[in-house]
């Protein structure tokens, strides 16, 4: 119906790059910078990181590329930096680690900024934020790094700075964060884990990891409304964006972009092509009245099947 939603691609492994370049995405919504860190034997140098980031930025230029700063901790560990914690998911993760290691963090920011010279498509994003002061500190570091590079004669500009919304406290405080960031992106993998108190990688409780839980859907709607009330763009870069059942709901909520692995893009594009915004909104209104995720999913399946999209959501025509 002419309503535009941007579809972006997520990247991590170098091998993803070729595949990502082969799909028609409007940009990179999430480059997981910890992946190259995990493949090294020591912390990669500024020069090494600059080379890695420049390869991605150049491959997609002039399209925007969101590079996320190091997100280790939880299930992601570095072979050369051991951390022993009783509860790693609630521990030294993501930005918390970076802010406690300004030396490592500033090298990473410098490498990103230097890699963007002459390309200017870099967007920087920080993970695992729970306090407004954390983002204010990042803003100060980023300003200082850019000023330093400019003093060294490099033709670099201040990139857009965004944050992941993946801790419930941050989701509740989007309006307070808005003056410190240029954009938001929702990490549903962690947001759902922390909202429902379900380890995202524990098979014993995997049936409880329910992205369609009404509490999750209501919070997602609040996050979009709050970001837009502050005139900030907001996307989803968690796995939920690649779910053809969820994509119509995310569009109806008002998300500006959905970012997903290259393999999910075609199906989501197809499903969204086939539905009008009004149909998505009608569906959203209906599911927001449900009191559990199971009912939400069956309503969604029924609706998409009715729209001739059963095959896209894994339903045989006879099912
Ligand atoms: C998320 O939490 O949804 C996310 C995109 O980040 P990651 O999966 O890398 O933790
Ligand atoms: Mg995450």
What is the chain's Cα-based Rg?
20
Residue 208 backbone zone (phi > 0: left; psi -120 to 50: alpha; other: beta): alpha
pLDDT digits (tens, 9 = 90+) for 263-312: 999 999 999 999 999 999 999 999 999 999 999 999 999 999 999 998 87
Nearest ligand 1 atom, CA 193: 2
Pocket lining: 54 vs ligand 1, CB cutoff 6 Å = no
The secondary structure of 134-180, three-state, reads HHHHHHHHHHHHHHHHHHCCCCCCCCEEEEEECCHHHHHCHHHHCCC
Q: Which of 286, 288, 287, 293 has the alpha carbon at shortest distance from 213?
A: 293
Nearest ligand 1 atom, CA 166: 2
pTM, two decimal places: 0.96
Question: Which mutation among 8, 10, 76, 187 tests ligand 1's pocket best, with the greatest number of atoms within 8 A of CB?
Answer: 187
pLDDT digits (tens, 9 = 90+) for 187-228: 999 999 999 999 988 999 999 999 999 999 999 999 999 999
Pocket lining: 34 vs ligand 1, CB cutoff 6 Å = no
User: Distances in Å between the alpha carbon of 120 and those of 61, 156, 201?
Assistant: 8, 8, 37
Owner of token pair 């996320």: 68
Nearest ligand 1 atom, CA 186: 3
Pocket lining: 243 vs ligand 1, CB cutoff 6 Å = no
């Amino acid at each position: 119906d002419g309503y535009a939603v941007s579809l972006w691609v997520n990247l991590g492994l170098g091998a993803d790059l070729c595949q990502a370049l082969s799909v028609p995405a409007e940009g990179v919504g999430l480059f997981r910078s910890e992946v190259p860190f995990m493949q090294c034997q020591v912390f990669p140098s500024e020069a090494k990181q600059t080379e890695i980031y420049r390869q991605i930025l150049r491959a997609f230029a002039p399209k925007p590329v969101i590079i996320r700063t190091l997100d280790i901790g939880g299930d992601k560990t570095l072979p050369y930096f051991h951390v022993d914690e009783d509860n790693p998911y609630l521990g030294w993760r993501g930005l918390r680690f970076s802010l406690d290691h300004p030396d490592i963090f500033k090298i990473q920011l410098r490498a990103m900024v230097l890699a963007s010279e002459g390309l200017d498509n870099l967007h920087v994003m920080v993970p695992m934020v729970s306090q407004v002061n954390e983002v204010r500190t990042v803003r100060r570091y980023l300003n200082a790094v850019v000023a330093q590079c400019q003093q060294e004669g490099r033709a670099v500009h201040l990139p857009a700075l965004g944050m992941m919304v993946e801790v419930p406290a941050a989701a509740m405080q989007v309006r307070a964060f808005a003056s410190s960031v240029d954009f938001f992106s929702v990490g549903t993998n962690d947001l759902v884990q922390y909202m429902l108190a379900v380890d995202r990688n524990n098979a014993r409780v995997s049936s409880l990891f329910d992205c369609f839980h009404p509490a999750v859907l209501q919070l997602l709607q609040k996050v979009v409304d709050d970001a837009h009330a502050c005139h900030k763009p907001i996307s989803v870069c968690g796995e939920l964006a690649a779910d053809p059942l969820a994509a119509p709901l995310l569009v109806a909520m008002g998300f500006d972009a959905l970012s997903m692995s290259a393999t999910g893009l075609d199906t989501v594009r197809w499903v969204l092509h086939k539905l009008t915004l009004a149909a998505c909104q009608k569906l959203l209104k209906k599911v927001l009245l449900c009191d559990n995720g199971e009912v939400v999913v069956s309503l969604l399946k029924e609706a998409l099947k009715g729209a001739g999209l059963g095959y896209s959501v894994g339903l045989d025509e006879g099912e």
